[in-house]
Amino acid sequence: MVPIFRFLILSFFLYSCNENNIGVIHWSTSFHNLSKEIRYSDSLSDRTAWMVRYFDVTWKNNQANPTAIASLPKNLPLQSAAVFIQRQVLEKTPRSQIPQLSNQIVSLIQQMEIGHQKAKEILIDFDWGKSTKENYFELIQQLKEKLPHKNISATVRLSQFANPRMYGVPPTDRGLLMMYQTGSLNQPEKPLLWEKSEVQQYLKQSNYPISLDVAIPAFSWSIIQRKVTIKNKKNISIVFPSYLQELQTNKHFKQIEPNVFLCIQPHFFHGFFLLTDDRVKCEKVSENDLKWAMEEAKSIAKKDGIVYLYLIEEASNGHYPADWFR
């Protein structure tokens, strides 16, 4: 009896440790480093879920247009596929044209999945507000009707999670809580990517009306800040990843704070032409904060939810060891 009893205890322990699924978000529409990313995801869990970005919908020439369409590899173990929608699309599309917009999105999703593994879930990534809520929720209803064999989910920002009465709750099967970007582009002196105290404030609202998966920020970025003459405001751009080590040795920069660099000579920096006095601010979540975020995310996602690490590409380069999240 003793060996059987020990076996039962061990089985219960293993089940308890793995009751939360873990996933990875591949947001890039290219897959140039796929083998390394798959090895990393396999090291996280034996049932790691994948989310990829299918395409974006942006507003151009007075109409909605698909852009950034992914070139999908075959046999990718997809759980979810995201469609990002630019805010202007639902600000400028009349309510009467929402069915047409949904038809365009559904048609492209179906084209994307010809010859590829079909995603079980379609995530709509859109930051809705008062002026766009009605159009957005109507679009979701349309997509649910036209994709009856898929689960439809929606991103939920921290502010939306904390104030469901103010923002409303998307009429989806479930949501993806984005547990990052706690700052504002209008306050460049504050951390944009992550500030634990801010996250804690948002998470005081513990019960959300729909089930949630959670995305935590296993990535870094650099914020490029440029002063402009109008009211002394700043233009903001973001580049992935942070390139901290490169900035520390680049002769075109002067380090003025631990993670802030001043451009001292105009030059191209990863697709951006920087001017003298532009600032580059590196942001990354600490190991302790990531471990804390993981525990909070597990609590929110509960047994049936997925905790996603976002971005897989940078994590798989060794910046975020897999054992941080196990």
Confidence (pLDDT) at 46: 83
**Environment class of residue 179 by beta-carbon count within 10 Å: exposed (0-12), middle (13-18) or buried (19+)?**
buried
Instruction: Kindly report, residue by residue over 68-81, the tens digit of the pLDDT.
Output: 999 998 878 789 99
In DSSP terms, 261 is beta-bridged to 255, 280
Confidence (pLDDT) at 64: 95
To 10 degrees, the CA torsion angle through 143, 146, 148, 153?
-10
pLDDT (average), residues 299-303: 92
201-205, 250-254, 307-311, range with greatest mean pLDDT: 250-254
Count of C-beta atoms within a 10 Å radius of residue 197: 7
CA distance 297 to 313: 21
Tell me: pLDDT of 317 over 50: yes
Question: Between these two residues, 17 and 277, which has the higher pLDDT value?
Answer: 277
pLDDT (average), residues 302-310: 92
pLDDT (average), residues 281-299: 94
CA distance 85 to 59: 9
Question: Between these two residues, 9 and 225, which has the higher pLDDT value?
Answer: 225
**Contacts by residues 303-306 (CB-CB < 8 Å, ≥ 24 positions apart):** 303/19, 303/20, 304/211, 305/20, 305/21, 305/174, 305/211, 305/212, 305/213, 305/214, 306/20, 306/21, 306/22, 306/23, 306/49, 306/79, 306/213, 306/214
Confidence (pLDDT) at 229: 61
Confidence (pLDDT) at 257: 94
Instruction: Kindly report, residue by residue over 235-275, the tens digit of the pLDDT.
Output: 888 988 899 999 999 999 999 999 999 999 999 999 999 99
Question: 12: pLDDT confidence band, cut at 50, 70 and 90?
Answer: very low
- Three-state secondary structure call for residue 113: coil
Confidence (pLDDT) at 241: 87
Confidence (pLDDT) at 16: 37
Whole-prediction pTM value? Answer: 0.88
CA distance 108 to 84: 13
Sequence ranges of the domains in the chain: 20-218+285-324, 226-274
Confidence (pLDDT) at 10: 32
Confidence (pLDDT) at 294: 94
Tell me: pLDDT of 3 over 60: no
Tell me: pLDDT of 57 over 90: yes
pLDDT (average), residues 113-141: 95
Question: 162: pLDDT confidence band, cut at 50, 70 and 90?
Answer: very high
First to last CA, the chain: 32
Confidence (pLDDT) at 280: 96
Question: 132: pLDDT confidence band, cut at 50, 70 and 90?
Answer: very high
Q: What angle do helix axes 98-112 and 133-146 make, rounded to 10 degrees?
A: 50
Q: What is the mean pLDDT of the chain?
A: 88
Closest by Cα among 324, 320, 316 to 33: 316
List b or e across 202-239, with b for residues whose CB sees 16 or more CB atoms inside 10 angstroms: bbeeeebeeebbbbbbbbbbbbbbbeeeeeeebeeeeb
Question: 174: pLDDT confidence band, cut at 50, 70 and 90?
Answer: very high
Q: Of 75-84, 173-182, 220-229, where does mean pLDDT reach its minimum?
A: 220-229
Distance of CA 184 to the CA centre of its chain: 16
Tell me: pLDDT of 11 over 70: no
Confidence (pLDDT) at 25: 94
Tell me: pLDDT of 161 over 90: yes
Class of CATH domain 20-218+285-324:
alpha beta
CA distance 157 to 176: 8
125-134, 181-190, 227-236, range with greatest mean pLDDT: 125-134
Confidence (pLDDT) at 230: 57
Tell me: pLDDT of 17 over 60: no
